[in-house]
Amino acid sequence: MPHRPVALHASRGSVAAAVVREGIDALLAEHEDEVPLGFPPEVLAEAERAAARELTDLERADRTDVPFVTLDPATSTDLDQAMHLERSGDGYRVLYAIADVPWFVPLDGPLDHEARRRGETLYLPDRRIPLHPEILSEGAASLLPEQTTTAFVWQLDLDARGAVQGIGLERALVRSRAKLGYDEVQAALDRGEGHPTMVLLEEIGALRGQLEAERGGASLNVPEQEVLAEGERVHLAWRTPNPIEDANAQVSLMTGMAAASLMLEHGAGILRTMPPASPRAVDRFRRQTEVLGVPWPAEQGYGAYLASLTWRDPVHLALLNQAATLFRGASYTAFTRHEEIPEQPEQAAIAAPYAHATAPLRRLVDRFVLLVCHAHARGSAPAPELLAVLGEIPAAMQRSGAAAGTLEREAIRLVETAALATQVGEVLDASVIERREAREGDGAEGSPARVEVQLTEPPVTAWVTMDAPIGARVRVRVDSVDPLARRATLVAADDAAGAA
């Protein structure tokens, strides 16, 4: 899913951590019906029993001799994936271990039903609300270094171009050798060094990126928004992902595409789908590129054009913001026989059929996809009790996704407005990323023109009552801020009248 485009990596305007905690507590209270916090006693009890289960009697392949490593943010402990990459002839072999959450969370038990209620892990500025109890998600089920546990192990054989030529999937005992962090890995690679698997990951990621461009896949070239803690204060910043993170994402995408191909071949599973943008929306975007002076060549693919844009340029930033409107309509589609496969099974942004299959500790649907794919890979039919519940999972994911999206947006808005509270009366630089025309209303004054701006510092978006073309640089003044209400009013710097 694309991130919302932003302007600059900046961190001006820190906020007392206590203010954020108070605001998040209030926000969670507003959403207490949609967002469960603590786990019920019976769920915690089942989690403790699952974490204590012995692995000795499991019918599993033994892959503990494979030197798997994980690659995540340095502070992560809920580790879903571990990998080992090697050359194979003139191509590659990818061994990709995914946490075996189904072994710890059997169908129709308290843990299963609680996970269906939650849907996914929620990430807020000062806390995390996990999908599973931490004794599993950050303990027994996590692919922590030097911990033997059970995992689904994908074997993907690639040719010299990085295209998948063979797919295998087994449940096995694994033991990760090291927990690697994005920044340290990128720094080592930049020095011409690095772990052997990371060197190959960089190589495979580049090949997969080229294949994505050839098939018409697209992603937005924008940084990620972060809320960083510094003692008892926090601040907003934008972090551009390291190149190795893009390579890591390509391996995950490749695995999701392999999972989708297995399920489509055998006629049962859950796909992550997204319809293509309508011709009208594409034509509108093409016209916008021409108006802003960065025309989209007719012969150039959509993904290649987006990759040519840089968020550091205010005009490009505006176009990336406009392009985000074409990435809409993502959903999940379950099917239990070939006749139920959707007419358009593709995920349009990926330009291929795709499934979520690599993050079962943090996302409900992946657990079910892994179980179905494992049955298909063995040449057997998925269990009837598994097929019986597949149809319920898309609705659970849709419900939890909507709640999570609302909560996470409001939480970020809380930090944004708190950051602006220290700058009331100041004039700030901004870029216009959206514009709404003035229109006649029922009142005498009607509705004036408004623009959405991306501030340069601190990194905040806001609507301002003023008129300026998309892509323009403007100056706005912070008029008033109410952090707990998550509301800020900005005005044009040369016109103090009006509110955002």
Q: Which residues of the chain have pLDDT under 70?
A: 1-15, 223, 225, 229-231, 235, 440-446, 495-500
Q: How is the chain split into domains, by residue range?
A: 34-274+335-391, 278-326, 422-492
The predicted structure's pLDDT at residue 464: 92
Backbone angles phi, psi at 112, to 5 degrees: -60, -50
Which residues share a beta bridge with 69?
A: 83, 178
The residues, ordered by sequence, that sit 6+ positions from 129 with a Cβ below 8 Å of its Cβ are 35, 36, 37, 118, 121, 122
Q: Are the C-beta atoms of residues 197 and 84 closer than 8 Å to each other?
A: yes
The predicted structure's pLDDT at residue 7: 33
Beta strands in 325-440 (DSSP E): 331-335, 346-347, 352-353, 427-436
Sort 1 into a burial class: Cβ within 10 Å, 0-12 / 13-18 / 19+.
Answer: exposed
The predicted structure's pLDDT at residue 88: 96
The predicted structure's pLDDT at residue 4: 41
Which residue carries 């206590």 as its tokens? Answer: 18
Find the helix or strand (DSSP H, E) in which 375 lies.
helix 364-378
How far apart, in whole angstroms, are the C-alpha atoms of residue 451 and residue 491? 11
Does the domain spanning 422-492 belong to CATH 1.10.3720.10?
A: no
How far apart, in whole angstroms, are the C-alpha atoms of residue 76 and residue 245? 14
SS3 19: helix
The predicted structure's pLDDT at residue 15: 66
The predicted structure's pLDDT at residue 11: 39
Which residue carries 């507590």 as its tokens? Answer: 25
Closest CA to 263 of 138, 374, 149, 172: 374
How far apart, in whole angstroms, are the C-alpha atoms of residue 234 and residue 76? 19
The predicted structure's pLDDT at residue 1: 37
Type of residue found at 353: P
How far apart, in whole angstroms, are the C-alpha atoms of residue 290 and residue 272? 33
